[in-house]
Structure 1
Amino acid sequence: MNGAPFLLALAAVLDVAANALLKKSDGFRHRLPGVLALVLVLGAFGLLGLALRSVPLATAYATWGAVGLVLTAVLSRVLDGTRLTPTAWAGLALIALCVLVLHTH
């Protein structure tokens, strides 16, 4: 087994962290979080590119997106107190399930 799933998960984590920093930058009024966000996005795309060596584009992008969505929802809950309805959580679970199905085919 190769390290592509790990690379995809790490790419998603970097992307979520970049988005959190981008919010913290307040439209780049605070430059340090904004610059760090750009660096993390570059890292995320670099890891995605490495994962694409052994994972089809559709599978890789779906995985990155699903992990990013779930992590963003959790992070938003922790940092901002955002509450999602049970239906929203079910939707996130369905997205994750769809990605799992995509990985099996």
Structure 2
Amino acid sequence: MNPAPLLLALAALLDVGANALLKKSDGFRRLGPGILALALVLLAFGLLGVSLRTVPLATAYATWGGLGLALSALLSRRLDGTRLTPTAWAGLLLIGASVAALHHLHG
């Protein structure tokens, strides 16, 4: 079994966690969350890099970025009460469709 899809998903989750911590750091006024955010970003990039051994760059980056974007939008909805408009939901669906198309293109 190729671990790359799992590594990409984990990289996206770590990136979303880093973004949430970055928000909690209040522009690095709170050092603890800021430093942890940096550590998570480094780990996320490391996992992304490892996945590039077997996954084409466009597919890996689209997966990592698309999943991170969608999860960040949903997390913001949950934590901040951000309302996603129908257009925003359609955009998230288009991101998912784009990632799926790249996966299909590169097999």
TM-score, L = length of structure 2: 0.96
Matched residue of 1:54: which SS?
A: coil
Matches of 1:31 and 1:91, distance apart in 2:
34
Cα deviation, residue 78, structure 1: 0.6
Instruction: After TM superposition, give the deviation of residue 29 of structure 1 in Å.
Output: 0.6
State the secondary structure of the residue aligned to 1:33: helix
State the Cα distance separating 1:74 from its structure 2 match.
0.5
Q: Distance in 1 between matches of 2:77 and 2:2?
A: 33
Q: Which residue does the alignment assign to 1:98?
A: 98
Q: CA deviation at 1:36?
A: 0.3
Is 1:55 the counterpart of 2:55 in the alignment? yes
- Tell me the amino acid that sits aligned with residue 21 of structure 1: L
Q: Which residue of 1 aligns with 2:15?
A: 15
Return the offset for 1:91: 0.8
Q: Distance in 1 between matches of 2:84 and 2:64?
A: 21
Aligned to 1:35: 35
Q: Which runs of 5+ in 1 are unaligned?
A: none
Instruction: Find runs of 4+ consecutive structure 1 residues off by over 3 angstroms.
Output: none
Count of aligned positions: 105
- Structure 2 gaps of 5+ residues are none
Structure 1 Cα separation of the partners of residues 74 and 27 of structure 2 = 23
Q: Distance in 2 between matches of 1:88 and 1:22?
A: 23
CA RMSD between the two structures: 0.6
Deviations 1:22-44 (A, max 9, x none): 01000111000000000000000
Q: What is the alpha-carbon distance in structure 1 between the residues aligned to residue 91 and residue 26 of structure 2? A: 29
Q: Offset at 1:87?
A: 1.3
Identity of aligned residues (%): 74
